[in-house]
Amino acid sequence: MNTGATTANAGVAAALRGCSAPRLVVLAVDLPRMTAGFLRALLESEETAGVVPRGPGFFEPLAAVYSLGCASLAQAALQRRDFSMQNFVAAAVAQKLMVARSIAPDEALLFENWNSPEDL
């Protein structure tokens, strides 16, 4: 079992359950190059659903905006023991609870992931 995925999925599910706003911004702490401007653009999109960035071949679910409608979907995934954030977000997109936003080539650096001192 991927403990990181389990933690991320459970964390997003818990945050959605406790959220009182119509949408929730999720940002992983290991994305030091992420900017407020990028997140603001996700929030200011015309979408009332959530918005998840998508790179080549995969979503970036830990730098995304979730609609509260995703809460039951997240909980159901946990109950099935499906801890994949990719599966969860793909299901949310399929159910139109989220829309995918392509990551532009000049935005790719924002998603650089630092997990250890060696990444500095």
Q: How far apart are CA 47 and CA 65, in angstroms?
A: 10
Phi, psi of 48 (to 5 degrees): -95, -15
Q: Domain 3-103, what architecture? A: Alpha-Beta Complex (3.90)
The domain limits of the chain are: 3-103
Instruction: Note the pLDDT of residue 103.
Output: 97
Phi, psi of 25 (to 5 degrees): -90, 130
Half-sphere exposure of 108 (CA within 13 A, CB side): 6
Residue 6 has pLDDT above 80, yes or no: no
Tell me the pLDDT tens digit for each residue of 84-103.
999 999 999 999 999 999 99
**pLDDT mean across residues, the chain:** 91
Tell me the pLDDT tens digit for each residue of 29-77.
999 999 999 999 999 987 778 999 999 989 999 999 999 999 999 999 9
